[in-house]
Amino acid sequence: MTDSFRFQHRKLEYKRLVPSFLSSHRTLLTLLWTIGFILMVAWQRTAVDRLLMYRGWGPPPRPIPKLRPLVLNLSDFGAVGDGVTLNTKSFERAISEIRKRGGGQLNVEPGYWLTAPFNLTSHMTLFLAENAVILGIDDESYWPLLPPLPSYGYGRERRGPRYGSLIHGQNLKDVVITGHNGTIDGQGQSWWEKYRKKLLNHTRGPLLQLMWSKDIHISDVTFRDSPFWTLHPYDCQNVIIRNVTILAPLSDAPNTDGIDPDSCENMVIEDCYISVGDDGVAIKSGWDQYGIAYSRPSSNITIRNLIVRSMISAGVSIGSEMSGGVSNIVVENLLVWNSKRGIRIKTSPGRGGHIRHVSYRNLTLENVRVGIVIKTDYNEHPDEGYDPKALPVIEDISFTGIRGQGVRIPARIYGSPEIPIQNITFQDMSVGITYKKKHIFQCSFVQGRVIGRIFPAPCENLDLYDDGGKLLRRATTQNTKDLDYDG
C-alpha cells in the first residue's frame, strides 16, 4: 500500500510540474525556435545567393553609359582586378591612348585594381562601375615627389618636396570622374601610422589633386582612407562636386579632410556625405607670405545639402591657410552631427588676406560641442619669414536659420584687438544647449547685430534689432571678452 501510494503521489506531482515547467520555459523555447528559424533562413539565403552568383543568375550589373565617343576598358590594357597585381602601367597606357585620340572614357570594371599614382588627361571621363575599387598602393616608394605648392612654400608637414596624389592632373580641361558609386581607396592606414611615428620625410599626398585646371565634374563615387587631404582642387575654375561619399576613421586618421578647395573660383559642392578624421570641407587660399605673394583667392563657392561628421575638427571650415583671400561663400542646408564643431573660421596674425561676404543658411547641429567658431590665433606658420603685421580682415559674415540640439557652446566668436570681427549678423537661431554656465554665447572684439529673438541669448557685444529692422539696443562695447570656455 505504501509503494502504491508513493507511485500515485509522484504521478500527480509529475502532472503538476510538466505544465509549470512548460509555462515557465515557453518564452525561452519560443526565442530559441525563432533564432534557429532566422539562422536557417539566413543560411538558405546565403546559399542561394552563392549559387546564383556561381551560375551567373544574379541581378546583372548596371550597364556603363557611353559618355564620350571613345570608350575604353581598363582590362583591355592588361589590368587585373585581383587586388594584388599592380596596374599602374595599364592606367598609363589607357590614358595615353585617350590623350592621343583627343579625349575619351576609361571604364574601370568591377574588381580591385591596385595601382601607384597616375595622371589624368584633358577631355577625359574616368568611370568606376558598380563594385569597382581603385586601390592606392601603400608603399610610399611608388609615390612620386612633387615641388611644394607655390602658395605654401613648403610641404604642409615637412620642408622640401611633397608626395603627389594617387590620382593627379595639372593644366587640364574638361575632366569627369563619375560612376555607379565605385570606390577610390587610398589605403591610408600605413601612412597615418608612419606619420604618427615620424617615419615620413615628406608631406603626405592627397587622394585626388587637380591643379590649374578647369571644367571639372566629380560625382557618384566613394572616396575613402586618403593618406592626407581627400579631394584637393588647387587653383581650379568651374568645379562641381556632387553626390560623393567621403570616408575615413573619425580618429587616428590625421588630416584626412574631405574636400579642400584651395585658391579655387566658381565651385559647387552639393549632396555629399562626409565622415572623416579632420574638417569635412576646408576652404583655403595659401599660407602666410607664400599665399600673399601667390595672390589667388577662393571665391564664388556654394556648399549645400551636405551631411558631415568630424570628431576632430569642424563640418565646414575656412582657413587657416587663407592668405590669398576668401570671399563670396554660401553654405546652406548643412547637417553636422556627433562632431566637435559645426562651422569654423580660423586665421592668425601673419596670414594677411581677407574672409568676407560669407553667408551661412539653414544649419542643423546635432550633438556638437561648439556650433559656430571664429578663431583669430591659429598660430601655425611655414617658417620664420612670415610678417606678424600681415593681419587678415574678417567682415560681412551672416548666420540665418540655425537649429540644433545637444550643443555645448552655440557660438564662440573670438576676435582680437589686432583682428576685430566686423559686421557679423545672427537671425532666426534656436539651439538646444547642454552647457549650464553663464557665458554660452561667447564673444570678444566683435561688431555686428542680432535681428529678432534668438536662443540662447546673444552676447552683449552685438546690437539688437527687432524683426522689422528697428534698433532696440546698441551694444555698449564690442571689446568685452565674454569667454569662460575654450572651444
Instruction: Please state, in angstroms and rounded to a whole number, the distance separating the CA atoms of residues 393 and 422.
Output: 8
Write the DSSP symbol of residue 149.
P
Structure confidence at residue 225 as a pLDDT band (50, 70, 90):
very high
The single residue listed with the C-alpha cell 565651385 is 267
Instruction: Please state, in angstroms and rounded to a whole number, the distance separating the CA atoms of residues 356 and 181.
Output: 36
Half-sphere exposure of 442 (CA within 13 A, CB side): 25
Structure confidence at residue 383 as a pLDDT band (50, 70, 90):
very high
Sorted by sequence, the CB contacts under 8 Å of residue 93 that are 6+ apart come out as 77, 78
Write the DSSP symbol of residue 76.
G
- Written as one letter, the residue type at 417 is P
The answer on pLDDT for 171 being more than 90 is yes
- 93-141: pLDDT as tens digits: 999 999 999 999 999 999 999 999 999 999 999 999 999 999 999 999 9
Question: Which entry of 225, 257, 262, 278 is annotated as an active-site residue?
Answer: 278
The answer on pLDDT for 337 being more than 70 is yes
**Does the model's pTM come out above 0.85?**
yes
Strands 298-310 and 314-318: unpaired
Instruction: Please state, in angstroms and rounded to a whole number, the distance separating the CA atoms of residues 400 and 382.
Output: 36
Instruction: Check residue 308 and give its pLDDT.
Output: 98
β partners of residue 301: 267, 329
CA distances, 194 to each of 190, 198, 254, 270 (Å): 6, 6, 11, 33
Domain ranges of the chain: 71-473
β partners of residue 373: 344, 412
Are the beta carbons of 331 and 345 closer than 8 angstroms?
no
- Written as one letter, the residue type at 389 is K
- Residue 278 among the catalytic residues: yes
For the CA atoms of 164, 166, 170, 176, the dihedral, rounded to the nearest 10 degrees, stands at -160
β partners of residue 185: 135, 224
For the CA atoms of 120, 124, 130, 134, the dihedral, rounded to the nearest 10 degrees, stands at -10
For the CA atoms of 336, 337, 338, 340, the dihedral, rounded to the nearest 10 degrees, stands at 10
Structure confidence at residue 154 as a pLDDT band (50, 70, 90):
confident
- 242-299: pLDDT as tens digits: 999 999 999 999 999 999 999 999 999 999 999 999 999 999 999 999 999 999 999 9
- CATH architecture, domain defined by 71-473: 3 Solenoid (2.160)
Is residue 105 packed enough to be buried (19+ CB in 10 Å), middle (13-18) or exposed (0-12)? Answer: buried
Percent of the chain exceeding pLDDT 90 equals 80
**Rounded mean pLDDT of 301-308?**
98
- The closest of 478, 387, 485 to 441, measured between CA atoms, is 485
